[in-house]
Structure 1
Amino acid sequence: MTFKTLSNFSLSLLVLVGSCKDQPSDKNKHVPKAEIKLDTLDSLKPTLKEKEEEAPFVLTEDNAIEFFFNYSKKLTEDTVKLTTNFGEITIQLYDNVPYHKANFIYLTKKGYFNNTYFHRVVKNFIIQGGNADNLETAEKRGEIGKYLLPPDTRKGHKHHRGTISMPSSEIDNPHMLASPFEFFIVVTKPGSYHLDGNYTPFGKVINGMDVVDEINHQPVDNGDWPSQNIRILKAEVIK
Structure 2
Amino acid sequence: MKTPYFIISLIFIFMLSACQSDKDKTSNGSQNGRFTKKDIDVKIPSNGKTDTDLSKIKTLKQEELIPFLRQYGVDNTETIVTVSTKFGDFKMQLFAGPKLHRANFVRLAKLGYFDTTVFHRVSEDFVIQGGNSDRQATHDFREAVGDYLIPNEFKSIHRHNYGAVSAAKYTEQNVSNASSPFEFFIVTAKQGAHHLDEDHTVFGRVTEGMDVVEKIDAVKTDDSEWPLSNIEMEVTVSR
Contact 2:72 2:103 in 1 (8 A): yes
4+ residue segments displaced more than 6 Å: none
Identity of aligned residues (%): 39
Q: Aligned residue for 1:210?
A: 211
Q: Please name the residue that 1:238 is paired with.
A: 238
TM-score, length basis structure 1: 0.75
Matches of 1:75 and 1:57, distance apart in 2: 16
- CA deviations on 1:156-176 (whole Å, 9 max, x unpaired) are 101110000001123422211
Question: 1:4-53: per-residue Cα shift (whole Å, max 9, x none)?
Answer: xxxxxxxxxxxxxxxxxxxxxxxxxxxxxxxxxxxxxxxxxxxxxxxxxx
Q: Which runs of 5+ in 1 are unaligned?
A: 1-53
Partner of 1:83 in structure 2? Answer: 84
More displaced 10-residue stretch of structure 1: 162-171 or 89-98: 162-171
SS of residue in 2 equivalent to 1:106:
helix
User: Does the residue aligned with 1:130 lie in a helix, a strand or coil?
Assistant: strand
Q: Distance in 2 between matches of 1:55 and 1:83?
A: 26
Maintained 8 Å contact 2:116/2:135: no
Equivalent-residue separation in structure 2 for 1:118 and 1:190 (angstroms): 22
- Let me know the Cα RMSD of the aligned residues: 1.4
Stretches of structure 2 lacking an aligned partner (at least 5 in a row)? 1-54
1:1-239 aligned at under 5 Å gives the runs 57-232=58-233, 234-239=234-239
Q: 1:174 to 1:83 in 2, by over 3 A?
A: same
Greater radius of gyration (CA):
1
Q: Which amino acid aligns with 2:177?
A: M
Residue 55 of structure 1 and its aligned partner are, at CA, apart by 7.9
**TM-score (ref. length: structure 2):** 0.75
For residues 210 and 56 of structure 2, the distance between their equivalents in structure 1, rounded to whole angstroms, comes to: 42
Instruction: Give 2:235's aligned amino acid.
Output: A
CA 1:83–1:206 in structure 2 vs 1: closer, same or farther (change >3 Å)?
A: same
